[in-house]
Structure 1
């Protein structure tokens, strides 16, 4: 099989496979491992298993807690996107308590979340993902590509200042590259922006159900905007630079679009509430969900299946399959019907029980602590992915065509982003167009464009907040009472994709609580139907373009694919070659993949 052939084509005859593993691929904790079987003769990844070796148990120890503590506790799920969890938990609590925050409180939450998107996407894209495409890495894995890069003029050199693609790659070199160092400075500004709105990064100190405790002043917004405009100017350089770099890889390596490519199965739960429409009532969730500044949606084979958060909620199913848990088939149902009278499935997060069963990892059976979230469309349990977050967000928003705020307009086939005049550069319009593939390059490209999208949204939110402050409407929090019985669900987008929190209250205490961040959606193992998770599916079957032989193989395209999903920050990557172990395979390496 050549790199340009169909990656799902069966291979004939005897095939020699080599076991190779990258474990851990981490963010802070070393819990993610990728185990593969690679066919070096046909230059293809024949099989992939995604494993997680860490059990957290938040859904267990949340039981019995005061619901008002939920956002403080669940914020600690993650040391990077803790504010996303806190925000989502507050959304779920708002619903359960029946409280609507003041407009200004919601604009401040939006400004904080926009700053988090800018911060996290910037530091991940430029200081971690960028290293995969830097001069030093490309020299080690594809010296022929680097040689071509040094000869290739950058189409947008006048906008970003790097004459050749090779110059861009050199600027990405860790610690020494000009752009690498500049991005580190920018990440500091965005973190300061977040702290202005929510007090502390990454675990907010002023975020509560009912609003925020932030004291809103003209000075507060001015401090935020002064940093935001510097970031806007930075994005005018970043977007064209990354377009040049990513387009070059398609040009330099024909067939590279197959790296990390999988069926278009994208999920977005929406982000940035519009307080003029959002009241957090479940009965109205369909309507206020569609008013979000990032439109919720499920995209299947390029088509927008739904933008209805009620339908999205009811379709969530938690499957087990290859994960280390016992089923809850015979255990209590917490919620039989939603507030609209719709039946709620036993495998829905409201009804989930967490029954851990530790055991030895067996890649042919149970091999991960991650369960397998799926979305049931009435016929199939779809293994949706988040596209790293931005790809699904932009795709859903573009197709829905519901956003038009001046700075941003979704057209039905694209998203147009207008950035105003800054100190050194005039106004710029960027247009993210729906791509042909859901692959590694397009996940990374979308992350760049979404940084600009978040900045444009923040400009709008700051203007709206200033209107409230100047009118004297400075209240940022609304009081509430915790009911004895209640349910709530929160939907938003964590940096790397879909995030939901489902809560059940009984006797004024938490009876059941299940947070589902993006990584379980992306990193899950094969489910009870044998369908692989998105990491597994995207890596499995992809061609190998690395020029190194087996003994010096680094697996750069496998790493690029996994990292394109933003699987938390990959602080440490270690490789293990299983002693060159040979396996004999007498049928197609993809026939038993259970591809969705």
Structure 2
């Protein structure tokens, strides 16, 4: 079992003692992400890092001129992993543009589908992809001393999860041979079934539309979902204490490990899982219904909640180019000067963005990636927000806002409480997630805590699903079975949709003119987390988290695998399909073949 192998480029002549190493591609999900580093093996620290995305993303170009009603079908194909998140965000965007409010039952069904997607995707990534970085075989290859200690260390919560020693947990995570690894694969199957019950098909929903859903809502439908959900609830009662034991052990076994993947706490969450009792999808009420989401939007800086106002969040988004392969659009048309409330809209806001590709040779002193540099402007600084892999930002913003309380999950203002009911084999269980701090009491955003938050957010998603299914069943029993509301497409409109993709913030911005799309820009977590240095020289989150990361791997330089670097990057749940679509300008024939007899000949 090996991690992605580094490419050695020798010693950097400009910086004596620094060794250049790159991991390109990082392939555990998709192979367009590259990490280029300079490592000081003398001090055991990464001195410099650049993150690259090697293939151009062109959806914002070919969306122009399309019928707006096709937007969710098209943008779903941006990604083969989180396509339903794009479809959902596009539908929210269209609801605003068309002025349509779906029936309550339709929104509860969407919540159940998206909650199932969180459960499915976080499970398969955490256990079958990230978990490999902490499995016995990986630890044996990179830190045999740590494995020896793990085999002697008792698990504090063995009674809850069944693994007597930490080494047993690590063996259970071994790919294909580990029992927990195989169990997680089965969990991924039935959580995907849960999604399909609500939205028809995974990952490109077939029953999701502006105005609601086409799902036929019956008691049987929700019973089938509920039976699988309760299996998942029981699974999480095992997973949360197991991961707590594993992650806490890493801190204890390797003093200083909290610095791996650490960066300043700059977190962004756009909120998700709307409450249909409050959400009308109008821009004028967006501040109100945004705060009623079951995942509260927010910007967290240095552990402090700066805002949970979705209107303010929207207006603060800036798309900077920096060191990316694009030309500026300062000389191009401005689509939106003011939002529907009369607030001025910046030219670097997604409503006004133009995507003008400018391919060239990669140069780390100039342009080196197809990823732009989204930032959030707080009135003074352009902040390089990250998503914490999604869950860290979601839980932190929700906890500090203190606005959610639906019985199964509650935000207290300083924590998130998760209450999971009795299941077939386990009693009722409560978990509490608190914003992490280091031993000095400073807010902590690092590789371990991003991964830990992912575990807790799985349980949180199950709690929201339990609430949503109760509300959906109440609608059906009351005879409110309508799931879709008709609408008309206006000749002109500006709109936006906000939600949380699995890996973090997701926004879709649209301008309609003449009944067609004039401008459309989807911004998923990938451009935020994987952004490059901006015009101010500020590195993107991947770059920032890897730079200065200490190296604890026990292998010598000649056999170095870079496991600490890989853990730092993978803690963000990197998923580059949103950056792997090609565009050929006005069209150019690469090769033409004439086959006698037509396409089926031979």
Name the TM-score, length of structure 2 as normaliser.
0.92
Within a 5 Å distance, the mapping from 1:139-288 to structure 2 comes to 139-288=140-289
1:338 is matched with 339
Structure 1 residue runs of 5 or longer lacking an equivalent are: 1-12, 571-596
For 1:54 and 1:29, locate their aligned partners in 2 and report how far apart those are by CA, in whole Å.
Answer: 12
SS at match of 2:404: coil
What per-residue deviation string (whole Å, max 9, x for no partner) do you get for residues 38-87 of structure 1? 00011100000000001120000000000000000000000000000000
1:418 is matched with 419
2:69 is matched with 68
Select the residue among 532, 545, 562 that pairs with 2:539.
Answer: 532
CA contact (8 A) 2:57 2:370 kept: no
2:360 is matched with 359
For 1:569 and 1:391, locate their aligned partners in 2 and report how far apart those are by CA, in whole Å.
Answer: 20
Q: CA deviation at 1:468?
A: 0.3
Aligned pair 1:517/2:524, yes or no?
yes
What per-residue deviation string (whole Å, max 9, x for no partner) do you get for residues 335-374 of structure 1? 0000000000000000000000111111111000000000
Tell me the C-alpha RMSD between the 2 structures: 1.0
1:592 is matched with none
Q: Which has the higher contact order (CA 8 A, sep 6+)?
A: 1
Aligned pair 1:544/2:556, yes or no?
no
2:561 is matched with 554
Name the TM-score, length of structure 1 as normaliser.
0.93
For 1:192 and 1:542, locate their aligned partners in 2 and report how far apart those are by CA, in whole Å.
Answer: 39
CA contact (8 A) 2:108 2:472 kept: yes
1:350 is matched with 351
1:374 is matched with 375
For 1:29 and 1:406, locate their aligned partners in 2 and report how far apart those are by CA, in whole Å.
Answer: 38
For 2:262 and 2:125, locate their aligned partners in 1 and report how far apart those are by CA, in whole Å.
Answer: 21
- Residue 396 and residue 147 in structure 1: after superposition, are their counterparts in 2 closer, same or farther (change >3 A)? same
CA contact (8 A) 1:316 1:349 kept: yes
CA contact (8 A) 2:28 2:129 kept: no
Aligned pair 1:132/2:136, yes or no?
no
For 1:515 and 1:438, locate their aligned partners in 2 and report how far apart those are by CA, in whole Å.
Answer: 26
For 1:228 and 1:487, locate their aligned partners in 2 and report how far apart those are by CA, in whole Å.
Answer: 38
1:292 is matched with 293
For 2:139 and 2:28, locate their aligned partners in 1 and report how far apart those are by CA, in whole Å.
Answer: 23
2:326 is matched with 325
For 1:86 and 1:258, locate their aligned partners in 2 and report how far apart those are by CA, in whole Å.
Answer: 37
For 1:274 and 1:38, locate their aligned partners in 2 and report how far apart those are by CA, in whole Å.
Answer: 48
Q: How many residues align?
A: 558
2:590 is matched with none
Structure 2 residue runs of 5 or longer lacking an equivalent are: 1-13, 438-443, 578-602
Q: CA deviation at 1:28?
A: 5.3
Aligned pair 1:488/2:489, yes or no?
no
For 2:192 and 2:558, locate their aligned partners in 1 and report how far apart those are by CA, in whole Å.
Answer: 42
For 1:217 and 1:489, locate their aligned partners in 2 and report how far apart those are by CA, in whole Å.
Answer: 32
Q: CA deviation at 1:259?
A: 0.3
For 2:85 and 2:360, locate their aligned partners in 1 and report how far apart those are by CA, in whole Å.
Answer: 32
CA contact (8 A) 1:54 1:369 kept: yes
Q: CA deviation at 1:178?
A: 0.4
For 2:546 and 2:223, locate their aligned partners in 1 and report how far apart those are by CA, in whole Å.
Answer: 45
1:20 is matched with 21
Aligned pair 1:567/2:574, yes or no?
yes
For 1:126 and 1:569, locate their aligned partners in 2 and report how far apart those are by CA, in whole Å.
Answer: 19
CA contact (8 A) 1:505 1:512 kept: yes
